[in-house]
């Protein structure tokens, strides 16, 4: 069964460093998302991406964050200068383009620890 894959599964970084989290969405999907879950808290929406541009972003997604689809398969989340509060599990998700298919398919997540 097709799945969303994410790398790395866990990354430890120093505060102020840049981090890139990578995702390979399901191949025929057209909409891509990043969510995050701080330990013990709710899953929170960060950003949605369609047709090579951001379609919506949350207040969390400030100038330190960026997303990119550099080729036909990868979808990346970059955090330019990490802060302690960026420590979280980051989930990538994708869905097909059909309007009536509302399910989001989530990856296994990338755990980011900022020291």
Q: Rule CB under 8 A: which residues touch other proteins?
A: 4, 31, 33, 35, 41-45, 48, 55-56, 58, 89, 91, 93, 95, 99, 102-109
Q: How far is CA 2 from the centre of its chain?
A: 18
Contacts of 31 (CB under 8 A, 6+ apart): 48, 49, 50, 55, 94, 95, 96, 97
Query: Please, what is the minimum distance in Å from the beta carbon of residue 52 to other proteins?
Result: 15
Instruction: Kindly report the backbone phi and psi dihedral angles of residue 84, in degrees, each rounded to the nearest multiple of 5, phi listed first.
Output: -55, -40
| CA-based R_g, the chain, Å | 13
Query: Please, what is the minimum distance in Å from the beta carbon of residue 43 to other proteins?
Result: 4
Residue (95 or 112) nearer to other proteins, CB: 95
Residue 56 in contact with residue 47, Cβ under 8 Å? Answer: yes
Query: Please, what is the minimum distance in Å from the beta carbon of residue 109 to other proteins?
Result: 5
Query: Please, what is the minimum distance in Å from the beta carbon of residue 44 to other proteins?
Result: 7
Residue (14 or 42) nearer to other proteins, CB: 42
Residue (20 or 89) nearer to other proteins, CB: 89
């Amino acid at each position: 069964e097709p799945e969303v894959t994410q790398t790395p599964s866990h990354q430890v970084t120093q505060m102020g460093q840049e981090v890139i989290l990578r995702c390979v969405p399901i191949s025929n999907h057209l909409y891509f998302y990043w969510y995050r879950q701080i330990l013990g808290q709710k899953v929170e929406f960060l950003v949605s991406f369609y047709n090579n541009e951001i379609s919506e972003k949350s207040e969390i997604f400030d100038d330190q964050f960026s997303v990119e689809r550099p080729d036909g398969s990868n979808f990346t989340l970059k955090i330019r200068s990490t802060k302690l509060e960026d420590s979280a599990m980051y989930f990538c998700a994708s869905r097909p383009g059909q309007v009536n298919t509302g399910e989001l398919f989530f990856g296994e997540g990338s755990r980011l620890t900022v020291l």
